[in-house]
Amino acid sequence: MKKEFVVIGLGRFGGSIVRSLADQGMEVMAIDMDEDKVNEFSSTASHAVVADSTDESVLKSLGIRNFDHVIVAIGDNIQSSILTTIMLKEIGVKKITVKAQNDYHEKVLRKIGANQVVHPERDMGRRIAHNIVSNNVLDYLELSDEHSIVELVANEKLSGNSLIDLDIRAKYGINIVAIKRDRDIIVSPQAEEEIQEGDILIVIGADTDINRFEKKIL
Ligand code: ADP
């Protein structure tokens, strides 16, 4: 069944969510109090509406309660973001994702019942920092404060070794969940699989363990 979304705030972040959802064939209602922003999305979104989301009667009249998922992508105005989230919660919206501006904002959003809080600038900063520090790290996804999934490029030190030879799970406590090789992807590789230079290893584990492994192969 087609899911129906609402995106409130059509800045760079909210706008890119509207475009991606529309590309995936989803129904999206796009809301912003700035008419120019709304006009920009009139042909992309299923409905584009000029409205102030801190006005409860507006939220109710738009029938926001009936949508599957609401994304609050209000940028700098933390007060509006918090107020909007509280009202969405009170109206009974089942799933609310909110973009946080800083850690304090995030804490408040969690307290008032946002189901998902995203921190795009901070997360992208961390990913890029990992990539800058280690040339081997292509991408990095934080699973929790202490665990991540990392894409590492295998260098000549690893080349020719099988997963058994490297004994990565026992030595480092991390798991290689997949290997990307040219256009192929080997999911859940067998212990006998031999790593080749240039393979991209998708590794999951505790950050401290992944760091130890990264240092070892540098
Ligand atoms: P980004 O950092 O993602 O580019 P911006 O701060 O540029 O974010 O954009 C946030 C958008 O949210 C703006 O287009 C602004 O008009 C809209 N916005 C802010 N407050 C409200 C509100 N109360 N109701 C509806 N839209 C709002």
CATH number at residue 100: 3.40.50.720
Same domain, yes or no: 106 and 200: no
User: Who's near 149: CB < 8 A, 6+ residues apart?
Assistant: 140, 141, 143, 177, 202, 203, 204
Measured CA to CA, the distance from residue 40 to residue 168 in angstroms comes to 51
Give me the phi and psi of 164, to 5 degrees please: -65, -45
Q: Which of 91, 118, 145 is the last residue of a domain?
A: 118
**Residue whose CA is at the smallest distance from ligand 1 atom 6:** 75
Measured CA to CA, the distance from residue 73 to residue 31 in angstroms comes to 10
Exposure of 53 by Cβ count < 10 A (0-12 exposed, 13-18 middle, 19+ buried)? Answer: buried
Nearest partner of 197 among 145, 171, 161, judged by Cα: 161
Structure confidence at residue 90 (pLDDT): 95
pLDDT mean over 155-183: 92
Chain segment 90-143, per-residue pLDDT in tens: 999 999 999 999 999 999 999 999 999 999 988 888 888 877 877 778 888 888
Same domain, yes or no: 133 and 109: no
Question: What is the complex's ipTM, to 2 decimals?
Answer: 0.95
Q: Is the CB of 36 under 6 A from ligand 1?
A: no
Number of domains in the chain: 2
Same domain, yes or no: 206 and 162: yes
Q: Is the CB of 53 under 6 A from ligand 1?
A: yes
Q: Is the CB of 16 under 6 A from ligand 1?
A: no
Same domain, yes or no: 105 and 138: no
Using a cut of 0.90, tell me whether the model's pTM lies above it: no
Comparison of pLDDT for 160 and 136, the residue scoring more: 160
Same domain, yes or no: 133 and 186: yes
Same domain, yes or no: 36 and 134: no
Q: Which of 39, 53, 74 to mutate to test the pocket of ligand 1 (most atoms within 8 A of CB)?
A: 74
Measured CA to CA, the distance from residue 148 to residue 44 in angstroms comes to 34
Measured CA to CA, the distance from residue 53 to residue 84 in angstroms comes to 6
Same domain, yes or no: 48 and 61: yes
Are 162 and 192 contacting, i.e. CB atoms less than 8 angstroms apart? yes
**Residue whose CA is at the smallest distance from ligand 1 atom 2:** 75
Give me the phi and psi of 106, to 5 degrees please: -60, -45
Same domain, yes or no: 34 and 91: yes
Same domain, yes or no: 99 and 152: no
Q: Which of 93, 118, 143 is the last residue of a domain?
A: 118
Q: Which of 94, 118, 142 is the last residue of a domain?
A: 118
Measured CA to CA, the distance from residue 7 to residue 29 in angstroms comes to 6
Q: Is the pLDDT of residue 66 over 70?
A: yes
Q: Which of 32, 40, 83, 123 to mutate to test the pocket of ligand 1 (most atoms within 8 A of CB)?
A: 32
Question: Residue 25's domain spans which residues?
Answer: 4-118
Q: Is the CB of 33 under 6 A from ligand 1?
A: yes
Structure confidence at residue 218 (pLDDT): 63
Same domain, yes or no: 111 and 149: no
CA 149 – ligand 1 centroid, Å: 32
Residue type, 202: I
Same domain, yes or no: 95 and 130: no
